[in-house]
């Protein structure tokens, strides 16, 4: 039986030009993604991170690199926890292989397939993996640097992508080099996105580029709400719990992402405590006998509809 579509304001892509703190927080509180211009071009990485510069700065260093035959990497592969192919390469070897495998793959359309292994240095914590590059990365003035929880660098081949998923942090995605395809789904579409890939609730079992509707029929009701390209020099704000699928469209594609320990611009902990309490409550209600469960649902509905207690 088809599920009733949820009623919720659709995602809208805000556009912010070098925003101040209040402009950014207003967008974050609304839970809307934002394309931010005028910030990244002033960061040293925008002008410095050529192949020659990176080879020089990282010469002699070796890295664990993920390898995929079709470009789709596991949700745990960035943590080196799954069975994805792994290579131990110097940075020079990585770049050489990246261009060799990625050459002559056709145009940059997301639908074009790779002709060889796809390589990805994904979600490398910058402080541990690339300390030489940290001075080149700027800090946006519209967020509190004290709330930064992790800064990651991603260097990938054309067609590299990870599963459809969401983050529970405020997330800033910075495109330093190349172009990426970005597709977004609102959190209210979760019932149709089959969370639970590899046992984690934040990743979908559905590949949105090649959905298996025999296994995941409800995905036919899901609707990608925003589909656009993130270009070099742009920054994307992704609100917490916004489902996203991101696909690299160019060689030696370099991104930075920063997670902040906030949710919609506010302290993150109360939201997560509320989610855990709700999860526990629902589990306990489901364990009740049917007659008690009906009463419990009525009590919960009454509590949800009650006006908030005065502070």
Structure tokens at 194: 């089959």
Whole-model pTM? 0.83
Q: Work out the burial of residue 270: count CB atoms within 10 Å of its CB; fewer than 13 is exposed, 13-18 middle, 19 or more buried.
A: exposed
Residue 4 has pLDDT above 60, yes or no: no
Taking only the tens place, the pLDDT of each residue in 50-102 is 999 999 999 989 998 998 888 999 887 655 544 457 888 999 999 998 888 76
CB atoms < 10 A from the CB of 68, how many? 21
**Confidence class of residue 294 from pLDDT cuts 50, 70 and 90?**
confident
What average pLDDT score do residues 148-167 get? 94
CA dist 309 and 306 (Å) reads: 9
CA dist 48 and 254 (Å) reads: 12
Strands (E) in the chain, as ranges, are 14-17, 34-37, 62-68, 85-90, 118-125, 148-156, 170-177, 180-185, 226-230, 235-238, 243-248, 253-260, 262-263, 266-267
Q: Pairing between strand 180-185 and 243-248?
A: antiparallel
| Cross-strand pairs, 153 | 124, 256
Higher pLDDT, 117 or 246: 246
Domain 14-267 class, CATH top level: mainly beta
> What are residue 81's phi and psi, to 5 degrees?
-105, -5
Taking only the tens place, the pLDDT of each residue in 236-279 is 999 999 999 999 999 889 999 999 998 888 877 667 667 777 67
Domain ranges of the chain: 14-267, 269-304
Taking only the tens place, the pLDDT of each residue in 172-222 is 999 999 999 999 999 999 999 999 998 888 999 999 999 999 999 999 999
Tokens 């997301």 sit on residue: 110
pLDDT of residue 110: 38
Helix or strand or coil: residue 189?
helix
């Amino acid at each position: 039986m088809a599920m009733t579509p949820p009623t919720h304001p659709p995602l809208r892509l805000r556009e912010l030009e070098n925003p101040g703190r209040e402009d950014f927080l207003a967008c974050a509180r609304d839970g809307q993604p934002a394309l931010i211009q005028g910030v990244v071009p002033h960061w040293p990485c925008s002008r410095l991170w050529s192949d020659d510069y990176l080879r020089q700065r990282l010469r002699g260093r070796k890295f664990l690199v993920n390898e995929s035959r079709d470009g789709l990497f596991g949700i745990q592969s960035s943590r080196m926890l799954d069975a994805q192919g792994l290579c131990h390469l110097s940075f020079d070897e990585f770049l050489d292989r990246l261009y060799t495998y990625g050459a002559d793959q056709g145009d940059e359309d997301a639908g074009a397939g790779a002709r060889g292994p796809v390589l990805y240095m994904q979600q490398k914590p910058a402080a541990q993996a690339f300390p030489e590059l940290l001075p080149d990365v700027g800090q946006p003035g519209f967020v509190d640097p004290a709330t930064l929880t992790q800064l990651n660098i991603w260097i990938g081949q054309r067609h590299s992508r990870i599963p459809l998923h969401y983050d529970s942090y405020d997330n800033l995605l910075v495109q330093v080099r190349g172009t990426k395809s970005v597709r977004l789904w609102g959190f209210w579409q979760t019932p149709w996105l089959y969370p639970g890939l590899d046992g984690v609730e934040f990743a979908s079992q559905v590949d949105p580029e090649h959905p298996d509707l025999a296994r995941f029929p409800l995905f036919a009701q899901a609707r990608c709400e925003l589909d656009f390209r993130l270009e070099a020099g742009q920054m994307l704000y992704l609100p917490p719990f916004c489902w996203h699928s991101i696909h690299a469209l160019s060689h030696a594609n370099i991104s930075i992402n920063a997670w902040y320990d906030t949710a919609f611009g506010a302290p993150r902990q109360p939201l997560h405590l509320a989610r855990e309490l709700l999860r526990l409550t629902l589990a306990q209600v489901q364990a009740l006998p049917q007659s008690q469960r009906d009463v419990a649902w009525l009590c919960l509905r009454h509590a949800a509809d009650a006006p908030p207690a005065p502070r």
